A and B are shown apart, each in its own frame.
Chain A
């Protein structure tokens, strides 16, 4: 990846996303939220709000720079490699699929390796019987600024396939860019660190779920109290009405 590409990609494109986002956020409800929260809020379940593009692209590019390192490439090891081999058959198959996803994202977008854990693909539903099999690595691609945070996946690795990411160095030859990225740039250490965080978060959420389930089983009386309050209010309203008459 040439110096010239980085100068434009980081120095112009990425910088512009950040600057424009700051302008959009100041003096609004979004001010003070974390970047990830802004992304989820402005994604708005697909009916995207104006700040989404800048917010998501700011995040995506941070994530992309950190996914690379000079003298990168090679092969991962340990847990990460084990999971890759489990979920894709082999490291080679994973590379093939990842490259294919990146090459076939039509128009602008990104390809991702992500950790998907214990969630049904239904909005806000929680998997009632989570198992180890639900915690898996997946390859996904997304258009324009969309990223896996909006699907509640934990991103591990990304490649930018907007044309500005490779045009100066490779022109139309996106597959060559993707190959070079995999062979010479990917930072597997970073991906590994992210995987550990992803597993930790999944474990935390499981504990949360357990705790909430136990609370429900023990049947705390909070619900009943709320009903009484409603009754009282209803009675008050009746009195008000008769007074009005």
Chain B
């Protein structure tokens, strides 16, 4: 009896060990999050055609390439191949950043029917007035910085957790907001890559910026703000 239980315990321990090893070796892969609304639900601010391409093609491509880069990174780390580890950093920043930013973006938008565009109340509303004077001022500032951004990037409303204030920032390409400062938390990001608006607004980025506010989901931004400033 004793022998059998010993044998069982050994096998059990071995089984546990190999599971744990397998878990540590298993790489999490990322997949495209579903949109909480239909592609056409943000019209006329953002066309259904754009939403579908943006979600199914652009975001998906970032995820696919991010997963690929992570797998290559994983291999390189295991082999101790430092030069490949370092070489992969830009692919990870581009594609991982693309995944992070777009995941936030879909939550930053909401159809008018579910209160998209409705101004923020509560603590975020107060904070905006304190930091920028008014919501209109904030919008003006974000539109100006978004329009002036050369090339591709994002314009953000962020919370600086250390300084305890709201900030407007821009990042280039797919750099997440945190690349501007480790204490920055994104509340709201607006994609100003041309793919985000070109089919509808062509070269007139300012028109896109003016109209996107009609579908901004302030509820989500408020939730993040309340959680992070607690």
User: Which A residues are closer than 8 A to B by beta carbons?
Assistant: 8, 12-13, 16, 53, 106-109, 143-145, 162-164, 167-168, 171-172
Contact = CB atoms under 8 A, between A and B. Distances in A.
Given A106-B174, A164-B203, 10 more contacts: A8-B203, A53-B150, A106-B94, A107-B172, A107-B193, A144-B150, A164-B202, A167-B195, A167-B199, A172-B195
Interface in B152-193: 152-153, 172-174, 193
B150 A145 contact: yes
Nearest to A9: B203
A107 B85 CA distance: 22
A125 B117 CA distance: 57
A167 B194 contact: yes
Nearest to B152: A107
A44 B109 CA distance: 40
Q: Which 5 A-B residue pairs are closest in the complex by CB-CB distance? A: A163-B194, A108-B151, A144-B151, A107-B173, A107-B152
Nearest to B91: A106
Residue with the greatest number of chain B CB neighbours at <10 A, chosen from A53, A109, A145, A163 = A163
Contacts of A12: 202-203
A79 B3 CA distance: 84
Nearest to B98: A106
B30 interface: no
A167 B198 contact: yes
How many chain B residues sit at the interface, stated as a range, is: 20 to 34
Nearest to B58: A172
B100 to A, nearest CB: 15
A106 B173 contact: yes
Contact of B195 (A106, A144, A145, A163): A163
A141 B203 CA distance: 23
Contacts of B172: 107
Given A107-B172, A107-B173, A172-B61, A163 B202 contact: no
B16 interface: no
B12 interface: no
B95 to A, nearest CB: 9
Contact of A107 (B53, B151, B199): B151
Interface of B: 53, 57-58, 61, 90, 94, 150-153, 172-174, 193-195, 198-199, 202-203
Contacts of A168: 198-199
A145 B152 CA distance: 12
Contacts of A143: 151
Contacts of B173: 106-107
Nearest to B54: A172
Contacts of A171: 53, 57, 195, 199
- The residue in A8, A53, A107, A145 that gathers the most chain B C-beta atoms within 10 A of its C-beta is A107
A163 B198 contact: yes
19 contacts: A8-B202, A12-B202, A12-B203, A13-B203, A107-B153, A107-B174, A108-B151, A108-B152, A143-B151, A145-B151, A164-B194, A164-B198, A164-B202, A164-B203, A167-B195, A167-B199, A168-B198, A171-B57, A171-B199
A172 B53 contact: yes
A143 B173 CA distance: 10
A66 to B, nearest CB: 21
A208 B202 CA distance: 48
A109 B194 CA distance: 12
B59 to A, nearest CB: 10
Contact of A163 (B61, B152, B153): B152
Nearest to A53: B150
B200 to A, nearest CB: 11
A109 B195 CA distance: 14
B203 A162 contact: no
A144 B194 CA distance: 13
